[in-house]
Structure 1
């Protein structure tokens, strides 16, 4: 009887572990991370991205930004952050639907447009931003492999093509 219980317990444990492996793999594919680098190519912060049913939640913390200001926060089309060229390697805003830039534009926004963020008095941006226009891995609206960008000025949500957001201060490739 004892050996039957042990065999039954081992079979149950094996089935539980087998079921957990795909669940763990699915959970891993539902998250991504990104490390921000500044203009000096030094790491300035991180982002954790989590896929939801209708978009992606981004938890962001970046230091060394202009204190007490609003800054633009976008998804850019290319997953390259080359500080030697002011992060221009990240390309334009992520815009798979070819819409106008900005929440206030008649035919906007881009999928990569997100609300401006406030930088505290110590130069740190801490935010949770939900973007319902993107996914992590979908072929059309997926952002894994693209870049997150923090600009020097707030986005005016109208100017084409990028909201007059100013210099690119910090860039992070979404992995």
Structure 2
């Protein structure tokens, strides 16, 4: 009987603790739904450590941001929404009044298109709370074609979204390969001609 009560108490306490996840691996996909690498998110002192290992990018600097929805629909990832910004700040790490929580420093792809970078996302967390990347249904990590200028509103003039990874509350959804492909507008024209 004592064992049963102990198990029930343990399950109750565990259920009440909420999300206490401290690490998450995010698979990153390009606009053709090819996996191009990973982002490892780990709880650190004062925020999340982000370790990127990517390939297949154009050499040079690229903007990278956490966006507000866990959606990476091709071809342009606009379903990810705007930058994750629970405090309602302006965009840009160089903005004098603070930045979006989802603003990260630019990453540089080498001459072979590889990125091996370690970044910090101050104040962000994977645990419960307003600044959790897993709040609501979750968020996404987006890489842009160009570098973020750090001040322009609303997104730093960083250009089109070229890679996306889902940071979903449901970890199974985070691991899903994006399967939606863009529709061909000429298909509709052919249907009408028939």
Distance 1:36 1:173 in 2: 8
Instruction: Say yes or no: does 1:99 pair with 2:99.
Output: no
Give the equivalent residue in structure 1 for 2:123. Answer: 133
Q: Could you give the per-residue CA deviations for residues 107-145 of structure 1, whole angstroms, max 9, x where no partner exists?
A: 221100111111111101111111113111232001132
Match of 2:161 in 1: 168
Alignment of 1:59-78 (within 5 A): 59-67=51-59, 69-78=60-69
Give yes or no for the alignment of 1:40 onto 2:32: yes
Q: Aligned equivalents of 1:51 and 1:124: distance in 2?
A: 25
For residues 111 and 26 of structure 2, the distance between their equivalents in structure 1, rounded to whole angstroms, comes to 24
Alignment TM-score, normalising by the size of structure 2: 0.72
How many residue pairs end up in the alignment?
149
Please identify runs of 4+ aligned residues in structure 1 that moved more than 6 A.
none
Q: TM-score, normalised by structure 1?
A: 0.80
| 2:109 aligned partner | 119
Structure whose CA Rg is larger:
1
Structure 2 counterpart of 1:79: 70
Unaligned runs of 5+ in 2: 1-13, 15-19, 169-194
CA-based RMSD of the aligned residues comes to: 1.8
